[in-house]
Chain A
Amino acid sequence: ETGVTQTPRHLVMGMTNKKSLKCEQHLGHNAMYWYKQSAKKPLELMFVYSLEERVENNSVPSRFSPECPNSSHLFLHLHTLQPEDSALYLCASSPEQRDRNTEAFFGQGTRLTVV
């Protein structure tokens, strides 16, 4: 257990549904990330939050909307998704230090299937 918890673990949703993924960490980290992992693709960085402020948005479609209400929680709000959005969505956190890079701890992921 790395201390990063994601819920739900599995999610099946229709293209017209609205759902949210949740990530929680109590490691005292102040940077949190959303990654998308598809078959035969690298871990794709979607969003980065540092001290609850979004610092990275890698051209992610607007049907994905992140929210970081505090340094321990990160959400990914989903609406009108497409079947190609089916993937494993991984959350990670790290004790960001500007003067050096540090390890990212991953959650177990949410397996999302869009039907």
Chain B
Amino acid sequence: YVLTQPPSVSVAPGQTARIPCGGNNLGPKSVHWYQQKAGQAPVVVVYDDSDRPSGIPDRFSGSVSGNRATLTISRVDAGDEADYYCQVWDPRSDQRVFGGGTKLTV
């Protein structure tokens, strides 16, 4: 199972960043998003398509439509620069799968 993400997304400070993640029959799956800043371990920012862990700003949101999931970051600032990964569980192969990651540049 493959999750496809663009290698990079660039956005100006204060604007909205949208990071897509595409996968076959994505709708029934729970999509999770992780943020990884340089030299640090990943941190979950959205789970189960659109839920946000405590401590994650409400500027981070997620949605799924058809075969595409989107992580939306509003009012982007320099602190949001990081690699972002989508992830699902594929029951056909019994494997967790990560997208290739998207580097967000602010």
Q: Do A and B originate from a single complex? A: no
Binding site for B on A (CB under 8 A): none
- Residue numbers of B with Cβ under 8 A of A are none
